[in-house]
Amino acid sequence: MMAAEQKKRDDSVVTIACLQMQPAFGAVEGNIAHSLDLIDQAAAQGAGLVVLPELANTGYVFRSRSEAFALAEEIPSGRSVSAWAERAARHRLHLVAGICERSAAKLYNSAVLIGPDGYIGTFRKVHLWNEENLYFEPGDLGFPVFGTAIGRIGIGICYDIWFPETFRLCALQGADIVCVPTNWVPIAGQQPGAQAMANILAMAAAHSNSLYVACADRVGTERGQPFEGQSLIVSYTGWPVAGPASRENEEIVTATVALGDARRKRNWNDFNQVMRDRRTDVYDEMLGSGLPPGWY
């Protein structure tokens, strides 16, 4: 890429929209239709990158593996990805959405990345939460970072953000932003009305890795399980630039940012830059992942 083209991409400004919605369990057609309506609304607000919640097309609280299998879809040929791809093409935007994936006889809690020209890639949730272990296989694709026209996009799903390796491996591969489809639930010890623990983790991860983080949560109660809402978008500085959203209501949380700032403005002072200051003489360069050294 020519230097002028690189600078143009790094300087590009994009509006991020996290779509906080309430899927109805098992109502795939209705959930897809509702998500498309929200995507249309986000596009009308200028969104170029849209993030939907975890398992946005199916709902979350499965009661059996057979129930999950019946609702799962192959990627990218399933009806959900096809519908989302059509809308991404119509609005010329990028989209990250949580989906129940079927691959042969295996199920994954996954997210798809779709661009204006169609399907780009899949992330499979690496760290499974609670009874997800009964239905899903742990993700086997690692933490890919996808190069796109708007920037380098990494993905994590819900419980993945409890693990600092999620963000560090994305950062070491040159990510500008990590998109987080999620279904946050109350955490033990959380005081009524307190900020979600996940918000604090997202802010800390953004700050300590110099990354934007965009978290799209769901709301409502499903089969007795309440969800936290509080979707937010965090700057590479660690401070929110949009949200947190409410706990109860569907909302579109938006922020307009220059994604290239995540890498261009990493220096905190004359001496410190968070990625450069890593002590790789003390710990492994790429956390034992076997990935090649990153872009920092």
In tens, the pLDDT along 18-40 reads 999 999 999 999 999 999 999 99
The answer to whether the CB of 209 falls within 8 A of the CB of 168 is: yes
pLDDT the model gives residue 292 = 76
Residue 127 is classified by DSSP as S
Considering the candidates 18, 54, 73, 101, report the single residue annotated as catalytic: 54
pLDDT the model gives residue 295 = 61
Is the pLDDT at 117 greater than 90? The verdict is: yes
Provide DSSP, 219-271. -SEETTEE-----EEE-TTSSEEE----SSS-EEEEEEEETTHHHHT-B-SSS
For 82-102, write each residue's pLDDT tens digit.
Answer: 999 999 999 999 999 999 999
Least confident of 65-79, 155-169, 224-238, 267-281: 267-281
What the block records as the tokens of 259 is 């994604």
d(CA 232, CA 182): 11
d(CA 232, CA 276): 28
265 is catalytic: no
pLDDT the model gives residue 294 = 65
Percentage above 90 pLDDT, the chain: 80
> Which amino acid does the sequence have at 96?
V
pLDDT band per the 50, 70, 90 thresholds, residue 296: low
125 is catalytic: yes
Domain 14-264 classification at class level = alpha beta
Triad 8, 9, 10: Cα angle to 5° = 95
Is the pLDDT at 186 greater than 70? The verdict is: yes
Percentage above 70 pLDDT, the chain: 95
d(CA 18, CA 38): 10
Considering the candidates 100, 158, 179, 215, report the single residue annotated as catalytic: 158
| Mean predicted confidence (pLDDT) in 98-123 | 98
pLDDT band per the 50, 70, 90 thresholds, residue 12: confident
54 is catalytic: yes
Considering the candidates 18, 100, 101, 125, report the single residue annotated as catalytic: 125
| Mean predicted confidence (pLDDT) in 129-149 | 96
d(CA 238, CA 210): 8
pLDDT band per the 50, 70, 90 thresholds, residue 78: very high
pLDDT the model gives residue 290 = 80
pLDDT the model gives residue 1 = 45
